[in-house]
Chain A
Amino acid sequence: KAGVTQTPRYLIKTRGQQVTLSCSPISGHRSVSWYQQTPGQGLQFLFEYFSETQRNKGNFPGRFSGRQFSNSRSEMNVSTLELGDSALYLCASRRPGGPFPEAFFGQGTRLTVV
């Protein structure tokens, strides 16, 4: 079974630009969450999508947005990039239903804003 796939793996953008990151969850997983990891900050929750609907949102500005498609693939968009947006962006998917608390992570997209 293929794992969570994130593309691209690495990205360099200029301040003020926008960027779109993609995440394909494990087959059959309908919940997709996005996290931002920066040094010393752990993983900060961005948002979660389930069946094409945003179900939870973290404390990030409106420049960060996302969507989920009918095949559960998800995209995250950051507009008007700032230097502080440089981070590892991780996507995670979860099994539907049942006592399965764990999320499965992709390898992440390393975004560098210059």
Chain B
Amino acid sequence: DQQVKQNSPSLSVQEGRISILNCDYTNSMFDYFLWYKKYPAEGPTFLISISSIKDKNEDGRFTVFLNKSAKHLSLHIVPSQPGDSAVYFCAARTGNQFYFGTGTSLTVIP
């Protein structure tokens, strides 16, 4: 049972434009949501998180939005840069356990 879903396996965006990565979840007990970025042959790197009691968190070019009623979160990257090209994983936490989505491969075209 996939509790965290990323329905878009890939996304291509022009450099300078906005990248929007989406994630849906089913478990209302999740208390934190996180985004990780992964380059090939490396482990995932933490990007940004949001508590379930908030609806937005911003860190530089990265903003995460949480819509609890829709059980949906999104990561906005503005402006997108070629170095942002990677696989992005959405994750959710309940207790001490994390659940990850299957990832979205972002390609930023120069």
Residues of A within 8 A of B (CB): 4, 6, 31, 33, 35, 40-45, 48, 50, 55-56, 90, 92, 99, 101-108
Is B25 an interface residue, CB under 8 A from the partner?
no
Q: A42-B103, A101-B32, A101-B34 are in contact. Are A56 and B97 (CB under 8 A)?
A: yes
- What is the chain A residue whose CB lies nearest that of B33? A101
The CB with the most chain A CB atoms within 10 A, among B4, B44, B99, is that of B44
Would you call B103 and A104 a contact (CB within 8 A)? no
Would you call B43 and A90 a contact (CB within 8 A)? yes
Q: A48-B96, A106-B43 are in contact. Are A42 and B101 (CB under 8 A)?
A: yes
Would you call A55 and B43 a contact (CB within 8 A)? no
Would you call A45 and B45 a contact (CB within 8 A)? no
Would you call B98 and A103 a contact (CB within 8 A)? yes
Minimum CB–CB distance for A108 against chain B, Å: 5
Would you call B98 and A41 a contact (CB within 8 A)? no
Is B93 an interface residue, CB under 8 A from the partner?
yes
Contact of B43 among A45, A56, A107 (CB under 8 A): A107
Would you call B43 and A102 a contact (CB within 8 A)? no
Q: Which residues of A contact B91 (CB under 8 A)?
A: 43
C-alpha spacing A55/B98, complex, angstroms: 13
Would you call B43 and A105 a contact (CB within 8 A)? yes
Closest 4 CB pairs of A and B: A105-B43, A101-B32, A42-B102, A43-B100
The CB with the most chain A CB atoms within 10 A, among B43, B91, B95, is that of B43
Q: A105-B44, A107-B41 are in contact. Are A56 and B49 (CB under 8 A)?
A: no
